């Protein structure tokens, strides 16, 4: 299995990269992003680009893949709707449309978030924009396309969020996070579970295209 991973330096992306490199069925992982992962592995290839909205110059390196995991995400705090739309909806669809053209038999998995608004018309800005991105993505001509909507994510294996607010929150909650995961699988998952669930969905599919937090844990 050959995998493309977007957002490999983020908290979720780090967990997905770890599981891909550990999985014997994965023969190659190409990470695409603005910065290096800092990892070295025989399976790992890295492609650094200043602008992910335009992949035309590197299309020759993006074909022949079986799966794409899109783990790029930003908080909406402090952003206008226009800017948040550019960084989520527009970026996601630009990448997905390119990959659908180059790899129509690919499985594409998009990491959204719990509470995303599938109607695309709700009052909460981030949920509305995420929901619109989900809807458009699922209409693209991939062999398989899925949306993951995790709620709270426990970072394992030394993984840390790049967002200061989240790092502070995880530091405070660290003593009880494992218990929260065990007791509330409907609302809490882990970076390991995210990566394992993605790989399993590529291999076996899933009963529905939008997987909520509890679905992710069951699949993993």
Q: Which residue has the tokens 């783990």?
A: 71
Least confident of 21-35, 61-75, 108-122, 154-168: 154-168
Q: For 109, list phi and psi in degrees, rounded to 5.
A: -120, 125
DSSP secondary structure code for residue 88 in this structure: I
Domains of the chain and CATH, by start: 2-219 (3.40.50.720)
Is residue 68 within 8 A of residue 4, CB to CB? The reply is yes
pTM for this prediction? 0.92
Residue 161 pLDDT class (50, 70, 90 cuts)? low
Residue 58's contacts (CB-CB under 8 Å, 6 or more residues apart) are 47, 49
pLDDT of residue 82: 94
First to last CA, the chain: 18
Give the whole-angstrom CA distance, residue 149 versus residue 155. 16
């Amino acid at each position: 299995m050959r995998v493309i991973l977007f957002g490999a330096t983020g908290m979720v992306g780090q967990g997905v990269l770890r599981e891909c490199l550990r999985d014997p069925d994965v023969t190659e992982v190409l990470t695409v992003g603005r910065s290096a992962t800092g990892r070295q592995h025989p399976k790992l290839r890295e492609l650094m680009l200043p602008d992910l909205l335009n992949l035309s110059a590197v299309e020759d390196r993006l074909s022949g893949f079986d799966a794409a995991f899109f783990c790029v995400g930003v908080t909406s705090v402090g952003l206008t709707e226009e800017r948040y739309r550019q960084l989520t909806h527009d970026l996601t669809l630009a990448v997905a449309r390119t990959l659908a053209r180059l790899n129509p038999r690919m499985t594409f998995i998009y990491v959204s978030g719990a509470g995303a608004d599938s109607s695309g018309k709700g009052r909460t800005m981030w949920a509305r924009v995420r929901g619109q991105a989900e809807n458009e993505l699922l209409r693209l001509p991939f062999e398989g396309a899925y949306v993951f909507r995790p709620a709270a994510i426990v970072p394992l294996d030394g993984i840390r969020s790049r967002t200061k607010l989240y790092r502070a929150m995880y530091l405070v909650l660290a003593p009880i996070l494992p218990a929260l995961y065990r007791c509330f699988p409907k609302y809490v998952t882990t970076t390991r579970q995210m990566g394992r669930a993605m790989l399993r969905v590529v291999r076996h599919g899933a009963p529905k295209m939008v997987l909520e937090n509890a679905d992710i844990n069951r699949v993993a």
